[in-house]
Amino acid sequence: MTNRRTLLTAGLSGLSLAMLGGTASFAQAATTSGKFVFIILRGAMDGLTAVVPYGDPNYQSFRGAIALDGPGGPNGTLPLVDGFGLHPALKEMHGLWQKGHMSFMHAAASPYRERSHFDAQDLLEAGTTQMTSARSGWMNRALAMLPNGPHQEGVAIGRTIPLVLRGPAKATSWAPPLAPESDMDTLARLSDLYAGDAMLSNALAMAIETDRIADGGTMMGGNEGRGRQGAYAPLASAAARILAAPGGPAGAVLSFEGWDTHANQGGAQGQLANRLEALDSAIKALREGLGPVWATTTVVIATEFGRTVRVNGTGGTDHGTGGVSFLLGGAVKGGKMLGDWPGLNRLYEDRDLVPANDVRHLFAQGLTNAWGLDRQAVLSRVFTA
């Protein structure tokens, strides 16, 4: 079978820098006036649901009830390369794939090998091999390599500047004027923490109920009320407006939260599918908001780590290692699967997708593509240390 052979071949080959980049198409796309957008999916997105390795012989048995199928089935995915399908909620992104404006890297990971969200996010953003006291981020260090000018600036959509954008180069932040509400996930965790504390648990339960009624009963479900941590599109639209403005910054960072699906993750539909749909809407909002600027835009989507290959006892997945990352945008000449597929017959620590590919190579690819920076210079000056 073609699918299986493709996977097998990929599994045997090692990842090298040469393999990842250096193609003529990338080099041609390089232009100094491009825009770079980095989207961090905080909470660890399940890569095996976003990009389904339906061709892998072990996939169905590991994923059971939450497994998706290859293109065409009832829980069918959207076709990528042989053996891999995109989650059906990611329609906009699939459209980009079909136009050759998207690539993806599976089994991607930063050098981090533990399972703490914040430490993992820190290292993902630092872009270093291990955490140093320097506390600057890779996107900022790359900005510092751009020619001086108003363009040489990064904007964070949010109330503070995340680590990835901190450092010597100019960085700013913009937050929606509304005071942010705590999301349902945080409230659920507090409810757990308050178990046994009658006063606080009763007060919180009543508050959540009142809020639900005030929101017209939609709170637990989709993208309204406090459940609206899934509403990423408005943030993407804001980023687009700022980037597309005359003299706008060269880069933007967006943080999308809520990917920590320990329970009732769902498959083609459900909790994670809703998140993916929101992510897809955000990409669409970004493309539409950027207008003509989209043609010179490169977007990288990454998460701090993947999730366990096996489903846990509550229909969810736990903290893992290898995940999936995307490179897309009008400036991307892609349509490729980047890196190596390690297969599911051997798992990292007998639980996780093997971290076969260093996600920093994809970051370097994105920076090179967007800003016309020299690839070797990016790799040596931004991603070492």
Partner 1 sequence: MSLNAVIAANRFGLGARPGELGQIARDPKAWLMSQIGNAASTNLPANGLLSSAQAFEALQSYQQARAAQQRGAQSPNPAVNFDERVRLADLISKTTGPEIEARIQHAVTTPAPFAERWVQFWSNHFTMAARNFQTTPFPGSFEREAIRPHVWGRFEDLLVKADTHVGMLIYLDQAQSIGPNSQAAQNQQGRRRAAGLNENLAREILELHTLGADGGYTQADVTEFARALTGWTVAGPRLRRLAQGAEMGTTIFVSALHEPGSRTILGKNFPATGERQALDILAHLARQPSVAKRIAFKLAQHFVADDPPPALVTRLENAFLQSRGDLSALAKTLVQSPEAWTPEAQKFKTPNDFLLSTMRASGANATSTQALRSTFEQLGQTPWRAPSPKGWPDVASEWAAPDAILKRIDWANLAADVIGETFQPLAFAETALGPALTDKTKTAISRAQTARQGIVLALMSPEFQRR
The amino acid at residue 93 is M
Q: In this structure, what DSSP letter does residue 147 have?
A: P
The per-residue DSSP string of 262-316 comes to: -B---SSSSHHHHHHHHHHHHHHHHHHHHGGGGGGEEEEEEES--B-SS--TTB-
Candidate ranges 12-20, 29-37, 75-83, 192-200; the one touching partner 1 (CB under 8 A): 192-200
Smallest gap from Cβ 199 to partner 1, in A, equals: 6
- CA 384 from chain centre, in angstroms, equals 22
Q: In this structure, what DSSP letter does residue 226 have?
A: G
Question: How many residues of this chain interact with partner 1, rule: CB under 8 A?
Answer: 37
Residue 207 interacts with partner 1 (CB under 8 A)?
yes
Residue 150 interacts with partner 1 (CB under 8 A)?
no
Smallest gap from Cβ 134 to partner 1, in A, equals: 15
Smallest gap from Cβ 92 to partner 1, in A, equals: 25
- Of the two residues 60 and 116, which places its CB atom closer to partner 1 in the complex? 116
Sequence-separated (6 or more) residues with CB below 8 Å from residue 381: 141, 145
Sequence-separated (6 or more) residues with CB below 8 Å from residue 306: 44, 45, 46, 47, 48, 107, 109, 320, 321, 322, 323, 324, 352, 353
Classify the C-alpha dihedral 62-69-53-361 as positive or negative: negative
Question: Are 162 and 255 in contact, with CB atoms under 8 Å apart?
Answer: yes
Which of 259, 326, 363, 383 is the binder for partner 1 (CB under 8 A)?
259
Smallest gap from Cβ 258 to partner 1, in A, equals: 7
Residue 224 interacts with partner 1 (CB under 8 A)?
no
- Of the two residues 228 and 284, which places its CB atom closer to partner 1 in the complex? 228
Burial level of 185, CB count in 10 A (0-12/13-18/19+)? middle
For the window 19-58, what string marks contact with partner 1 as x by the rule CB under 8 A?
-----------------------xxx--------------
Candidate ranges 103-111, 143-151, 257-265, 287-295; the one touching partner 1 (CB under 8 A): 257-265
- Of the two residues 156 and 378, which places its CB atom closer to partner 1 in the complex? 156
Only one residue has tokens 């955490």, namely: 131
- Per CB under 8 A, which of residues 70..129 are in contact with partner 1? 116-118, 121
Residue 260 interacts with partner 1 (CB under 8 A)?
yes
Measure the CA–CA gap between 280 and 161, rounded to whole angstroms: 24
Which of 3, 70, 76, 185 is the binder for partner 1 (CB under 8 A)?
185
Which of 27, 187, 242, 244 is the binder for partner 1 (CB under 8 A)?
187
- Which spans of this chain sit near partner 1 (rule: CB under 8 A)? 42-44, 116-118, 121, 158-160, 179-182, 185-187, 189-190, 192-194, 197, 199-200, 203-208, 210-211, 257-260
